[in-house]
Structure 1
Amino acid sequence: MAQIIVLNQNTKRESGRKVQLGNIGAGKAIADVIRTCLGPRAMLKMLMDPMGGIVMTNDGNAILREINVQHPAAKSMIEVARTQDEETGDGTKSVIILAGEVLSVAEQFLEQQMHPTVIISAYRQALEDMLDLVRDKVSVPVDVTKREEMLKIIKSCLGTKLISKWMDLACKIALDATSTVAVEEHGRKEIDIKRYAKVEKIPGGFLEDSEVLKGVMLNKDVTHPKMRRRIENPRIILLDCSLEYKKGESQTNIEISKEEDFSKILKLEEEYIEKICNEVIQFKPDLVFTEKGVSDLAQHYFVKAGISVIRRVRKSDNNRIARAVGATVANRTDELRDEDVGLGCGLYEIKKIGDEYFTFLVECKNPKACTILLRGASKDVLMEVERNLQDAMNVARNVMVEPRLAPGGGATEMALAQALNEKAKSITGIHQWPYRAVARALEVIPRTLIQNCGASTIRTLTALRAKHHKGDSTTWGIDGETGNIVDMREFGIWEPTSVKVQVLKTAVETAILLLRIDDIVSGVKKQGSDGGSAPQQPAQSSEGPEP
């Protein structure tokens, strides 16, 4: 037994270094997949899902969602992109490429037998310095109230996307939608794009027909053909209960002995439906939305009262309508009050687009929710346009929440690399080498931009280094279209500081996390090479008795 454990300890010692190098390899492999997707000259990836459907995109998060990987380190890299997307909605490609590079530069130190803890502490120090530099030295404040400024910022985000051909329209849509759903709460801005800015895609028409509706649109029609399909300034009631007879919850079966009992039960049902309809009708609404069903008898009462009813509305849509028209969703009809009625809608109408009917609640006075109506040639185009718009809206949101900007086009990374190199001179001891390596890793962003547009990498990068080295300007970067060096201040490519900070944090922290792993224990049984299971080996546990 003792012999086995000694053997096991030997192999384990070897596995520590092996695992770290394996993790670095996995991180680099994921970064290599994403690398060609950075910048305006980005290539697209064609992804096939298990069902045989295809997705064509250069959206980093969308690509990584579809990739199927086995290596645990690669899985955690994909998780990183998800985190970045949820947190800021932008910078997913940058964060993966940077994390891969920060891992990659650690490889030489591991091979020189430097302990991972030393590398990690140097990385931590570098991260703190980078975050201070971004906030104090590199970023500039921005005036959120100036529409032109905001459109410029969103433009720089969309330059790399498929939608860049319809740039002005897309920027307007993104900015209008984001400013519509912005709400001030307790002194801070609350901008919930996911919940209140819904994108509705209708194939057909031209992309130029896309617009932001000052209100809400649903893929629904009225329940009865005699109900009105157009009302100006409607009174709107929103319900979260069914306008049908509730079946008894406890007694599910009724025994009827006499014939008149049956008509009595029917009468009870009718009376109940009449009662709940009257509770709604007394508020004189023109329009009723409910999340549940509406029985035929209830429809009859509503048609008589001249009320249009739309049923089986999604909960999220109902909340959006409530925000747009200023109504409150009622859970029971007997709880309705006058202040629950929504009066903020200017026009309700139902239009037929293609073969389907759509309900429009538009011209709202102060909508805090909106619908983005997208038109386009095919489903694939619309899906990609929606992904691009989500990114643009996230950029607008980030700037509104934290109104500071950092120069794009690799300028921020280059400025940080230069500053870290200077600072490394004051660091004594072994830590300075990993610290310098982080500065070298940051150059991967401008280098990738140069590579993706086919310019001379070494020459351009050296010239860019020289610009940052001699001048005090931090805004020199790469024009992703041509590969030339340009001043981002004049070129007008800016990114939200919150995205940059999140990219740096996530990338370095992921690298630190993966470097701390020195063993991967799998709970999966390995299959033998001949198809049968491998011969059983004695349990080799490091928790056994000491040799």
Structure 2
Amino acid sequence: MYGPGGAAPILVLSQNTKRDAGRKVQLENINAGKAIADVIRTCLGPQAMLKMLMDPMGGIVMTNDGNAILREITVQHPAGKSMIEIARTQDEEVGDGTTSVIVLAGEMLGVAEQFLEQQMHPTIIIRAYRQALEDMIRLLQDQISVPLDVNNKEKLVEVVKSCVGTKFIGQWADLACTIALDAVKTVYLEESGRKEIDIKRYAKVEKVPGGSIEDSCVLSGVMLNKDVTHPKMRRYIKNPRIILLDCPLEYKKGESQTNVEILKEEDFTRLLQLEEEYVQKVCEDIIRLKPDVVFTEKGVSDLAQHFLVKAGITAIRRVRKTDNNRIARACGATIVNRTDELREEDVGTKAGLFEIKKLGDEYFTFITECNDPKACTILLRGPSKDVLNEIERNLQDALNVARNILLEPKLLPGGGAIEMAVSQALVEKSKSVQGVMQWPYKAVAQALEVIPRTLAQNCGANTIRTLTALRAKHATGCSTWGINGETGEIVDMKELGVWEPLSVKLQTYKTAVETAILLLRIDDIVSGSKKKDKDSDAPKATAQPTEESLKE
């Protein structure tokens, strides 16, 4: 029996309205995700198109790096912002696969659309996606991945090449691979069974316009954009003894509120004398250890330069903290904060050569020929700043791939072969899934095919025919067959030599599926606005849907 005025039917009506509003928001989120994926889709594979990005200041960036493109794009939709965030996550975590993760996440959302329209509850879709993700990870780790011998340089070069092949730097693939592997092996550190490869901090990329790209190399040491402080200081030293400081070689200036009362003329002379004595004492502490070169992160006064030149010591000032850390790792020196604490063991003796050379218009300091340096500088030469910036972005991907392989030496076939193999396995497995969950589970397998499909599209092949042939190959058990991104033909990836690191693929799948799940969970977008209450001074935060947010 209904209450007075028929309250119950009204309640049912409001619940239906809520459900419809929730579904509308979910579909909008899916569309936003698909829109972002469509922007990036043409940037996948060796025949990828470039995007030209213009910033508000009029600067131009030309790139096909998914992360670089999304960093520059301004998006208003909150779901679109989440998609951009996952490219950043992927880049920070494994440094490669940013384009794949966006394309895959967009497709994962796209295949969920039909189920929402059929009134299937998002929770069921999410459960099926979770199950599929667990099965994918198990398949990759236990069945499909191939172990790699880290000492096999040819195989390592092959893997890095397949990463670099899709980029602008692909024309100089051999050079890029050699640079990436040399740099990563230089900064490779193993302590108490723990591997550490910190490329960001210890493999610095220096871009110097001019020369040809073939002149790029990895220095067995460090290079800084600095010159000596005094013209009479030596600019070429064999087997230098190096001291690194974090303190100024000048007298300490008083703070702004310092007051000095001078009564007679000699007091001022005494004041200057004290300053000179302090600088002399600091320099004597350094000269005592007979170094050849002194690097300091702070300033060097004229008086200190005078004492150091007399002792035949070269000084370089205002070195960045990060550069100082790299020099410390390369030449075996210790950064010291006070000159009176300097000891013989703080002096770096691993460097074979210190020299200052002029490249273009500027002077650069080179500390090279180091004995087992744990830091290095990658010197990039090229025709213009734009080209160098793009090469650096590409090289970062190559460095990350090399790092991932050394940390986890397991490989998977590239060229969409792995997606096809996992898709095939999931379709088989979906037959044993109970109830309606079977359909979204099968849809994940379908979504994975977006990678080989996009590769075929980007090189102008007949997509339907190519994918059908590829499916047929995988059905007969040829799990390493994929699409040649150059020609659009289907080939065996083992013979073509296109491989991908396992860690990149795992991260791509996890991030893409988790993002799809996250966006399907959202059933309302509410804008929180702060309003000042007229009665009280304390501002109250109110969260209520605005007309604009509901329209969106």
- Cα distance in 2, alignment partners of residues 8 and 205 from structure 1: 71
Q: Which residue of 2 aligns with 1:178?
A: 184
Per-residue CA distance 1:70-116 (angstroms, 9 max, x = gap): 00000000000000000000000000000000000000000000000
Q: CA deviation at 1:524?
A: 5.7
Matches within 5 A, 1:322-401: 322-401=328-407
Q: 2:82 aligns with which of 67, 76, 85?
A: 76
Q: CA deviation at 1:14?
A: 2.5
Residues 1:142 and 2:148 aligned together: yes
- Cα distance in 2, alignment partners of residues 423 and 395 from structure 1: 31
Q: Which residue of 2 aligns with 1:521?
A: 526
CA contact (8 A) 2:206 2:379 kept: yes
Q: CA deviation at 1:7?
A: 9.1
Q: 1:430 aligns with which of 428, 436, 442?
A: 436
CA contact (8 A) 1:449 1:483 kept: yes
- Cα distance in 2, alignment partners of residues 14 and 206 from structure 1: 61
Q: Which residue of 2 aligns with 1:529?
A: none
Matches within 5 A, 1:431-450: 431-450=437-456
Q: CA deviation at 1:256?
A: 1.6
Matches within 5 A, 1:222-371: 222-249=228-255, 252-371=258-377
Q: 2:500 aligns with which of 495, 499, 518?
A: 495
SS at match of 2:90: helix
- Cα distance in 2, alignment partners of residues 411 and 6 from structure 1: 50
Q: Which residue of 1 aligns with 2:509?
A: 504
Q: CA deviation at 1:11?
A: 4.9
Per-residue CA distance 1:520-539 (angstroms, 9 max, x = gap): 001369xxxxxxxxxxxxx7
Amino acid at match of 2:225: N
CA contact (8 A) 1:8 1:540 kept: no
Per-residue CA distance 1:447-467 (angstroms, 9 max, x = gap): 000000000000000110011
Q: Which residue of 1 aligns with 2:72?
A: 66
CA RMSD of aligned residues (A): 1.8
Residues 1:221 and 2:207 aligned together: no
SS at match of 1:94: helix
Q: Which residue of 2 aligns with 1:192?
A: 198
Q: CA deviation at 1:289?
A: 0.1
CA contact (8 A) 2:207 2:380 kept: yes
Q: CA deviation at 1:13?
A: 3.3
Structure 1 unpaired stretches of 5+ = 526-538, 542-547
CA contact (8 A) 1:291 1:315 kept: yes
Q: Which residue of 2 aligns with 1:470?
A: 476
Q: Which of 245-254 and 63-72 deviates more?
A: 245-254
Amino acid at match of 1:291: E
Runs of at least 4 residues of structure 1 off by over 3 A?
4-13, 248-251
Q: Which residue of 2 aligns with 1:414?
A: 420
Q: Which residue of 2 aligns with 1:456?
A: 462
Q: CA deviation at 1:540?
A: 7.8
Amino acid at match of 2:480: T
SS at match of 2:371: coil
Per-residue CA distance 1:236-285 (angstroms, 9 max, x = gap): 00000000101235962212221111111101100000001101110000
- Cα distance in 1, alignment partners of residues 16 and 475 from structure 2: 48
Q: CA deviation at 1:235?
A: 0.2
- Cα distance in 2, alignment partners of residues 278 and 68 from structure 1: 57
- Cα distance in 2, alignment partners of residues 199 and 428 from structure 1: 53
SS at match of 1:289: strand
CA contact (8 A) 2:182 2:218 kept: yes
Q: Which residue of 2 aligns with 1:169?
A: 175
CA contact (8 A) 2:195 2:407 kept: yes
Relative to structure 1, the CA distance from residue 90 to residue 199 in structure 2 (aligned partners, 3 Å threshold; closer, same or farther) is same
CA contact (8 A) 1:476 1:486 kept: yes
SS at match of 2:227: coil
Q: Which residue of 2 aligns with 1:545?
A: none
Residues 1:126 and 2:132 aligned together: yes
CA contact (8 A) 2:207 2:381 kept: yes
SS at match of 2:522: coil
- Cα distance in 1, alignment partners of residues 15 and 451 from structure 2: 41
Per-residue CA distance 1:26-82 (angstroms, 9 max, x = gap): 000000000000000000000011111010000000000000000000000000000
SS at match of 1:430: helix
| TM-score normalised per structure 2 | 0.93
SS at match of 1:190: strand
- Cα distance in 1, alignment partners of residues 17 and 70 from structure 2: 34
Residues 1:483 and 2:467 aligned together: no
Relative to structure 1, the CA distance from residue 126 to residue 296 in structure 2 (aligned partners, 3 Å threshold; closer, same or farther) is same
Amino acid at match of 2:514: E
CA contact (8 A) 1:322 1:342 kept: yes
Q: Which residue of 1 aligns with 2:101?
A: 95
Q: CA deviation at 1:504?
A: 0.4
CA contact (8 A) 2:526 2:545 kept: no
Per-residue CA distance 1:429-462 (angstroms, 9 max, x = gap): 1110000000000000000000000000000001
- Cα distance in 2, alignment partners of residues 540 and 389 from structure 1: 46
Residues 1:37 and 2:43 aligned together: yes
